[in-house]
Amino acid sequence: MKWNLPQAFADADRNGQRLGDLRAGQLPGAAQPDPVAAITVLYEQHALELIRLAHVMLGSQTSAEDTVQEAFCGLYRHWGRLRNQDRALSYLRSSVLNGCRSTLRRRAPGPAVGPGEQTASSAEVAVLGSEQRRTVMQALRQLPARQREALVLRFYLDESDAQIAADMGIGESTVRSTIHRALAALGRSLGEMP
């Protein structure tokens, strides 16, 4: 079977399937016996949202694409050891978040993007009237990685405290305090009440 991935993504985007299954953490349909076929289906259905998630975290489309690609390659390598293949999507999401953390740790202080890359802070976006968004995203990216991650999981994926705890590998009470402190820091940075 040949997958027309770009077309499938375009269809999904047009149909408004933005976060659907990614938020629910479920793998649609039965697990495929052939790892390549199963992973291809997963990629078709979830790569877009995973790249968007990584893009929000990293501020760089190239880094986001690389991170997601590595996550799918990791899934392929570990497919046989995945006890419950219905949990593949959770595995992927955790891998992407881990990949983002590693990238952020490696990244030297300075611009988050590669040369010539278009980002939220580009002139084009500013012309489009997104100054406020640029400011908010800049403040978000100045937060410690853990706080940033918790905010993205809460306000992008709409995850509950318990789900964020499971995704980040921290306790639920820590999730609460992390989000609280992150909002307070963001508020201070933007001169607003949290």
Q: Tell me which residues in 21-40 interact with other proteins (CB under 8 A).
A: 35-36, 39-40
Q: Which amino acid appears at position 124 of this protein?
A: E
Distance separating alpha carbons of residues 35 and 39, to the nearest angstrom: 6
* Residues between 2 and 21 with contacts to other proteins, criterion CB under 8 A: 5-6, 9-10, 12-13
Q: For residue 12, give the DSSP letter.
A: H
Residue whose structure tokens are 């349909």: 29
Among 92, 96, 97, 186, binds other proteins (CB under 8 A): 186
Distance separating alpha carbons of residues 158 and 167, to the nearest angstrom: 13
- 8 A C-beta contact, residue 72 and residue 81: no
For residue 158, what are the CA distances in angstroms to 21, 56, 82?
A: 12, 14, 26
* Residues between 83 and 102 with contacts to other proteins, criterion CB under 8 A: none
At 28 the three-state DSSP class reads coil
Q: What is the largest CA-CA distance in the chain?
A: 54
Q: What phi and psi values does residue 15 have, to the nearest 5 degrees? A: -80, 5
* Residues between 45 and 74 with contacts to other proteins, criterion CB under 8 A: 47-48, 51-53, 55-56, 61, 64-65, 69, 72-74
Q: Tell me how far, at minimum, the Cβ of 171 lies from other proteins, in Å.
A: 4
Q: Tell me how far, at minimum, the Cβ of 82 lies from other proteins, in Å.
A: 9
Q: Tell me how far, at minimum, the Cβ of 20 lies from other proteins, in Å.
A: 14
Q: Tell me how far, at minimum, the Cβ of 126 lies from other proteins, in Å.
A: 13
Contact between 131 and other proteins by CB under 8 A: the answer reads no
* Residues between 103 and 122 with contacts to other proteins, criterion CB under 8 A: 118, 120
Contact between 133 and other proteins by CB under 8 A: the answer reads yes
